[in-house]
Amino acid sequence: MTSALERRRATFLRGHRAEWIALLFLMMKGYRPLARRYAASGGEIDLIVMRGDTIAFVEVKARGLMDDALAAITARKRQRFSRAVRTWLSRNVWAQGKTWRADAVFIAPKRWPQHIVSAFELEMS
Q: Could you tell me which residues are beta bridge partners of residue 49? A: 33, 56
DSSP H or E segment with residue 65 = none
Give the pLDDT score at 51: 98
In the chain, the N- to C-terminal Cα span, in Å, equals 47
Domains and CATH numbers, the chain: 4-120 (3.40.1350.10)
Residue 16: the pLDDT is 87
- For residue 45, what are the β-bridge partners? 38
Per-residue pLDDT in tens (0 to 9) along the chain, 125 residues: 568 888 888 878 888 899 999 999 999 999 999 999 999 988 999 999 999 999 999 999 987 766 666 677 888 999 999 999 999 999 999 999 999 999 999 998 888 999 999 999 999 87
pLDDT at residue 69, rounded to an integer = 64
Among residues 114, 8, 110, 103, the alpha carbon closest in space to that of 51 is found at 103
pLDDT number for residue 88: 97
